[in-house]
């Protein structure tokens, strides 16, 4: 079909053993997780958990040993990710560093940056946030206005970022900032650069924003004459747009784009046995889950081969978000509160609320479908 390619990929030969180790670890670690943990899944932030994950070599798995990486394959890493997500582990303290910031530093960072940051991401010590959205720049990201101005020895940042997940708990963020001349409407994508910004620098104030669940998930960050040294520029000055969009294939392709609500199905299943409509509904959900998993694996395989399947990733994210968002609502139709354990009822309620974010974060449904439509040749 018009420019989309999905070739089936197998998980690696050692997958069953790797899964067994992960499952034993997660069963132990997750013994006392309250429903809010799986409900928040990879937005959940738990430094102690991330350090344990780091100790076991499950962060930076594909990176070179020089920087503490495990030199494993991308498909092995995929197995680890899906095992974490299947139980809704609170991976947020290392998720962004492992998925995006670390690979960016590895690909485009200086040798100094690699040595400084990568080993500490691998150990689960260093938590990263993504500084993209701004109060007036959401889906239209290229309109962003937060500026980094050249000053002797570094850059001075002024402006605001918003919706930055967990920034108030993170150590660093990778911020996309305007370094070029004042915005020319014809060249909005030029003059942007990426910086490593220490979240504790003087001049930065981070204000947590309560989400509709009542959690402090995301933030508004104000930069008031914040100085960052030259050494914190990532990649090439002015090249930030290309650099940031190249990350999107990684950001959008992962199993976190369809598995966010699966723990609810697992938790609710046994109590659905008496419900006559359950077999058909559960069957449809599993048929889709298995298919999305194969689509996601196909994209992971392309990434492992060094390709940049940005369009396929957009398509899988869109389809996956629809799925994970509909799942709580679909199960709600089956669940009889009187026959359902309180833990499951609570998880259903939480996921009903959290699921709103699935089709917003990492590119809204409408933006993704616009990308897909362009690939289909619609203008």
* Site for another protein, rule CB under 8 A: 1-2, 4, 6, 8, 10-11, 13, 15-16, 19, 23, 82, 86-87, 262, 265-270, 272-273, 278-284, 286-295, 298, 315, 318-319, 322, 366, 368-370, 372-373, 376-379
Q: How far is the CB of 69 from another protein (least distance, A)?
A: 25
184: burial class by Cβ within 10 Å (0-12, 13-18, 19+)? exposed
- Residue 26: name the closest of 68, 64, 70, 82 by CA: 82
Residues 88, 275, 85: CA angle, nearest 5 degrees? 10
Handedness of CA 249, 130, 127, 91 (dihedral sign): negative
Q: How far is the CB of 22 from another protein (least distance, A)?
A: 11
Question: Cα separation of 102 and 201, whole Å?
Answer: 21
Q: How far is the CB of 309 from another protein (least distance, A)?
A: 12
Q: How far is the CB of 293 from another protein (least distance, A)?
A: 7
Residues 48, 52, 54: CA angle, nearest 5 degrees? 115
- Which residues pair with residue 223 across a beta bridge? 159, 204
Q: How far is the CB of 38 from another protein (least distance, A)?
A: 12
If the CB atoms of residues 145 and 365 are measured against another protein, the closer one turns out to be 365
Classify strands 233-234 and 216-229 as parallel, antiparallel or unpaired.
Answer: unpaired
What is the token pair recorded at 340?
A: 């359902």
SS3 content of the chain, % helix, strand, coil (to 5): 55, 15, 30
If the CB atoms of residues 182 and 333 are measured against another protein, the closer one turns out to be 333
If the CB atoms of residues 87 and 104 are measured against another protein, the closer one turns out to be 87
Question: Cα separation of 37 and 343, whole Å?
Answer: 12
If the CB atoms of residues 229 and 279 are measured against another protein, the closer one turns out to be 279
Q: How far is the CB of 80 from another protein (least distance, A)?
A: 12
DSSP-derived secondary structure letter, 32: T
Question: Cα separation of 147 and 242, whole Å?
Answer: 18
Q: How far is the CB of 298 from another protein (least distance, A)?
A: 7
If the CB atoms of residues 186 and 379 are measured against another protein, the closer one turns out to be 379
If the CB atoms of residues 48 and 269 are measured against another protein, the closer one turns out to be 269
If the CB atoms of residues 83 and 220 are measured against another protein, the closer one turns out to be 83
Contact 62, 78 (CB under 8 A): no
If the CB atoms of residues 59 and 87 are measured against another protein, the closer one turns out to be 87
Q: How far is the CB of 209 from another protein (least distance, A)?
A: 29
Measured CA distances, 290 to 55, 81, 128, 262, 323 (Å): 31, 16, 31, 12, 12
What is the token pair recorded at 338?
A: 């009187």
Residue with tokens 């070179």: 64
Q: How far is the CB of 70 from another protein (least distance, A)?
A: 20
Contact 127, 93 (CB under 8 A): yes
If the CB atoms of residues 52 and 322 are measured against another protein, the closer one turns out to be 322
Question: Cα separation of 162 and 353, whole Å?
Answer: 20
Q: How far is the CB of 306 from another protein (least distance, A)?
A: 21
What is the token pair recorded at 377?
A: 């040749």
Contact 140, 146 (CB under 8 A): no
If the CB atoms of residues 109 and 263 are measured against another protein, the closer one turns out to be 263
């Amino acid at each position: 079909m018009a420019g989309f390619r999905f070739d089936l990929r197998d998980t690696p030969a050692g997958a069953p053993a790797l899964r067994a180790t992960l499952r034993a670890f997660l069963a132990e670690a997750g013994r006392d997780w309250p429903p809010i943990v799986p409900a928040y899944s990879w937005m959940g932030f738990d430094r102690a958990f991330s350090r344990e994950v780091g100790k076991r070599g499950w962060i930076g798995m594909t990176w070179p040993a020089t920087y503490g990486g495990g030199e494993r394959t991308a498909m092995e890493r995929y197995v680890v990710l899906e095992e974490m997500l299947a139980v809704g582990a609170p991976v947020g303290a290392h998720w962004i560093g492992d998925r995006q910031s670390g690979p960016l530093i590895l690909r485009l960072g200086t040798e100094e940056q690699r040595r400084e940051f990568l080993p500490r991401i691998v150990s689960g010590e260093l938590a990263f946030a993504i500084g993209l959205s701004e109060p007036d720049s959401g889906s239209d990201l290229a309109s962003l206005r937060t500026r980094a101005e050249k000053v002797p020895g570094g850059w001075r940042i002024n402006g605001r970022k918003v919706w930055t997940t967990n920034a108030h708990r993170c150590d660093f963020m990778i911020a996309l900032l305007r370094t070029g001349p004042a915005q020319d409407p014809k060249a909005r994508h030029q003059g942007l650069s990426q910086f490593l910004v220490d979240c504790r620098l003087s001049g930065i104030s981070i204000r947590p924003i309560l989400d509709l669940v009542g959690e402090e998930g995301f933030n508004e960050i104000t930069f008031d004459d914040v100085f960052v040294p030259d050494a914190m520029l990532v990649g090439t000055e002015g090249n930030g747009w290309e650099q940031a969009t190249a990350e999107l294939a990684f950001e959008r392709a992962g199993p976190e784009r369809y598995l966010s609500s699966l723990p609810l199905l697992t938790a609710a299943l046994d109590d659905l046995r008496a419900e006559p409509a359950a077999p058909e509904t559960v069957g449809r959900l599993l048929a889709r889950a298995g298919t999305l998993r194969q689509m996601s694996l196909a994209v992971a395989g392309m990434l492992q081969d060094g390709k940049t399947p940005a369009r396929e990733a957009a398509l899988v994210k869109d389809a996956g978000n629809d799925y994970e968002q509909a799942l709580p609502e679909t199960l709600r139709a089956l669940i009889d509160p009187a026959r359902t354990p309180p833990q499951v009822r609570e998880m259903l309620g939480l996921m009903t609320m959290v699921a709103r974010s699935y089709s917003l974060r990492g590119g809204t449904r409408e933006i993704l479908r616009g990308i897909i439509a362009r690939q289909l040749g619609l203008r």
